[in-house]
């Protein structure tokens, strides 16, 4: 099957090839054996087919000129240092998602189609010139008939189909690269495009974004320093989001922030406290920390906009990231690698990773907390993971990139800023909570439940295994009787192991809880007294059962 037959939009494909050629990627076209898509004049320019060293910058320019989904791809990659080298990440961060707005008439048609009524009946006022225009949607300022000033995010017409066409071409090119064994510094192009496709589907899903806004609103309802725009459900659909209009200064507009005499140090502190709360308390955080998505308001208040991409941390991930922070602060490479493994890191060579990570961490040894730039350490960790083809959970990558971006902006405001110092009290609270009585009791209950389930399932799993063995070889029937006796002994032993572990856990928990209860029994807290009492009774039960069987 020819390329023309495989590709639906051959004109767009040829445009991509020509733009690649224009920005010094002739060598790439030649490696993929696609020179026949170029004109004779282009093919005769031998110098254009030599590999250049300015690939990150040139590739950004390629994406800018191609527009559409390619701009979104570059933005996606700018927050994924686990997928591409860091020099590409930095270059793609420069790319702005700004495209010419659609005409008012087109925006009007979408609004009227969604609400089944004229625009003037939906909004009392609707500004024709959008205040922001990007590749997926544009935002108009409007006023409801009830008087509220709102921001109306209108999805561009047929954007889903447009994105799908470009992504199909990306997938074709990615598979073509894979089939022609073209490697780009450990990058897996097919995996990147597949991830990007899922990412884009989330961004186009306005109903999901509307839900995200509501969750953030609930999480920060009592925080006077954080302003989350209110969602207007009755004026929001699959293609339109209507929320409060927030009039603020973009975070990256440093000159204007300083002109308004905002308290920069306080503003930075509020911002990072907000992010740390999102991650470690709520487990639900803004994962697209582009400076244009964070606004500074009077009285040093902060507002977030554009909630299309979020990260989610469960209790285990919160615990793992806390351990990672501690490992970084302690310069403990073993703890860092162990924590990354606990997170689900897979692939690559652990020995090589450890050696390279030790070399990077050495520079921190002896450094004071105030001298550690956490974003630089995270950048080193993520770039090493990408270099050695390790994969870690997406939400951790988004969290890491969020901190890297925000600490970078904070350093532009104040070169003395250090997240390690700013977050010191917060991390202390996390560690205290982690080893506190409530969390200890919770961990004890969870561990005991898991152990009980594991123990109960041993006979059943073993019987299932024996059944499969008997089906495979009937001659094993004589062994079966001995195996059943073994199962009974395993059952008894596992019960004793369970009792032993429960006793140990009770003793530890009781010891920890000694100072945490005002009610005293025999000079110890009531909880500790009951824990020790139950432990003693369980020990007595095990001893009696062993004596009855006369097995020591």
Q: What is the pLDDT of residue 173?
A: 87
Specify the pairing of strand 226-227 against strand 301-304.
Answer: parallel
pLDDT at site 537: 75
- Residue pLDDT, tens place only, 239-292: 999 999 999 999 888 889 889 989 988 998 899 899 989 998 999 999 987 778
Does residue 479 register a pLDDT over 50? no
pLDDT of residue 500: 61
φ, ψ of residue 134 to 5 degrees: the values are: -130, -175
Report which of 533, 528, 316, 354 is spatially closest to residue 434, judged by C-alpha positions.
Answer: 316
pLDDT band at residue 181 under the 50/70/90 scheme: low
Least confident of 100-114, 156-170, 449-463: 449-463
Query: From CA 514, how far away is CA 528, in angstroms rounded?
Result: 6
DSSP secondary structure letter of residue 521: E
Q: What pLDDT, on a 0 to 100 scale, did the predictor assign at position 507?
A: 59
Among 173-182, 376-385, 411-420, 471-480, the range scoring the smallest mean pLDDT is 471-480
Alpha carbons 136 and 202: distance in angstroms, whole number: 12
CB burial readout 336-349, b (16+ within 10 A) else e: bbbbbeebebeebe
The per-residue pLDDT for range 513-546, each reduced to its tens digit, is 555 555 556 566 666 666 667 767 766 776 676 6
The stretch 153-175 carries a mean pLDDT of: 91
Distance, CA of 234 to CA of 152 (rounded, Å): 12
Give me the residue spans of the domains in the chain. 313-435, 437-549
Q: pTM higher than 0.95, yes or no?
A: no
């Amino acid at each position: 099957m020819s390329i023309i037959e495989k590709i639906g939009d051959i004109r767009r494909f040829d445009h991509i090839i020509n733009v690649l050629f224009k920005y010094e990627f002739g060598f790439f076209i030649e490696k993929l054996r696609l020179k026949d898509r170029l004109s004779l004049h282009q093919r005769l320019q031998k110098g254009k087919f030599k590999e250049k060293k300015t690939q990150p910058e040139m590739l950004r320019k390629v994406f800018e000129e191609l527009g559409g989904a390619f701009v979104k791809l570059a933005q996606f990659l700018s927050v994924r240092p686990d997928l591409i080298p860091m020099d590409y990440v930095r270059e793609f961060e420069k790319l702005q998602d700004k495209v010419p707005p659609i005409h008012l008439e087109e925006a009007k048609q979408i609004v009227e189609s969604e609400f089944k009524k004229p625009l003037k009946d939906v909004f009392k006022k609707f500004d024709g010139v959008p205040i922001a225009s990007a590749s997926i949607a544009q935002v108009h300022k409007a006023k409801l008939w009830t008087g509220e000033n709102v921001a109306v995010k209108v999805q561009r017409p047929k954007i889903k189909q447009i994105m799908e066409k470009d992504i199909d071409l990306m997938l074709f090119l990615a598979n073509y690269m894979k089939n022609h064994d073209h490697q780009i510094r450990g990058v897996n192009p097919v995996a990147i495009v597949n991830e990007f496709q899922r990412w884009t589907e989330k961004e186009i899903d306005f109903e999901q974004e509307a839900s995200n806004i509501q969750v953030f609103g609930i999480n920060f309802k009592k925080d006077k320093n954080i302003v989350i725009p209110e969602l207007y459900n009755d004026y929001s659909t699959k293609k339109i989001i209507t929320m409060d209009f927030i009039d603020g200064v973009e975070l990256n507009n440093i000159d204007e922030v300083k002109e308004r005499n905002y308290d920069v140090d306080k503003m930075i502190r509020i911002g990072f406290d907000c992010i740390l709360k999102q991650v470690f308390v709520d487990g639900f955080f803004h994962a697209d920390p582009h400076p244009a998505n964070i606004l500074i308001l009077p009285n040093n208040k902060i507002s977030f906009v554009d909630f299309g991409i979020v990260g989610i941390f469960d209790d285990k991930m919160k615990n793992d990231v806390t351990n990672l922070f501690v490992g970084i602060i302690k310069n403990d490479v073993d703890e860092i690698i162990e924590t990354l493994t606990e997170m689900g890191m897979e692939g690559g060579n652990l020995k090589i990773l450890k050696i390279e990570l030790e070399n990077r961490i050495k520079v921190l040894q002896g450094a004071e907390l105030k001298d550690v730039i956490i974003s630089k350490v995270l950048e080193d960790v993520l770039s090493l993971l990408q270099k050695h083809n390790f994969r870690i959970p997406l939400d951790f990558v988004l969290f890491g990139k969020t901190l890297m971006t925000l600490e970078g902006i904070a350093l532009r405001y104040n070169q003395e800023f250090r997240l390690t110092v700013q977050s010191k009290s917060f991390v202390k609270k996390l560690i205290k909570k982690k080893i506190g009585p409530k969390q200890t009791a919770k961990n004890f209950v969870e561990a005991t439940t898991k152990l009980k389930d594991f123990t109960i399932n041993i006979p059943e799993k073993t019987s299932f295994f024996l059944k499969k063995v008997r089906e495979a070889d009937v001659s094993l029937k004589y062994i079966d009787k001995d195996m059943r006796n073994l199962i009974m002994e395993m059952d008894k032993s596992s019960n004793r192991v369970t009792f032993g572990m429960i006793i140990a856990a009770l003793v530890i928990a009781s010891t920890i809880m000694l100072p945490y209860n005002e009610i005293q029994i025999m000079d110890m807290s009531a909880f500790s007294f009951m824990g020790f009492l139950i432990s003693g009774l369980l020990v007595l039960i095990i001893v009696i059962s062993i004596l009855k069987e006369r097995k020591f």
